[in-house]
Amino acid sequence: MNYLPLAARVCLALIFLKAGISHITGFPGFVQTIASKSVPLPGIVAVGTIVFLLLGSLSVLVGYKAKIGALLLIIFLIPTTLLFHPLGSDVNGFLKNLALIGGLLMVMAYGAGPLCVDSAGGKAVI
């Protein structure tokens, strides 16, 4: 059972880590996508998004300050969901992001679990 929180963190973190890397490798297109939604300063928003994705996913993945990492990813997901996956036009994307937020809220509520960088005496600390 000690491996279940680790498996959950890996499953949650990989989608965000992959997205962060993809946004770096396709940066100009990523900026254009953000600009298409009339977001001000799309270049700065793109860089901030990449930072949130990478820091948040790595934090959750390894279990170092996982609650803060989960919060960064939730902060990323809320506007992303509302702008790029609105309920009326992209129900599956909206619900997927809602599920991700739910998983990240579990990390915030219960911590990273016993197999993490922050673990001390078998309990996650933050």
Q: What is the pLDDT of residue 120?
A: 55
Distance CA 122, CA 2 (A): 9
- pLDDT tens, residue by residue, 105-125: 999 999 999 899 987 554 544
Structural domain boundaries in the chain: 3-110
Q: What is the pLDDT of residue 125?
A: 47
- pLDDT tens, residue by residue, 10-42: 999 999 999 999 999 999 999 999 999 999 999
* Closest of 6, 7, 13 to residue 104, by C-alpha: 13
Q: What is the pLDDT of residue 81?
A: 97
* pLDDT bucket at 126, cuts 50 / 70 / 90: very low
CB contact burial 17-31 (16+ within 10 A = b; e otherwise): bebbeebeeeeeebb
Please say whether the beta carbons of 118 and 126 come within 8 A.
Answer: yes
- pLDDT tens, residue by residue, 42-98: 999 999 999 999 999 999 999 999 999 999 999 999 999 999 999 999 999 999 999
End-to-end CA distance of the chain: 21
Q: What is the pLDDT of residue 85?
A: 95
Q: What is the pLDDT of residue 67?
A: 97
The whole-model pTM stands at 0.91
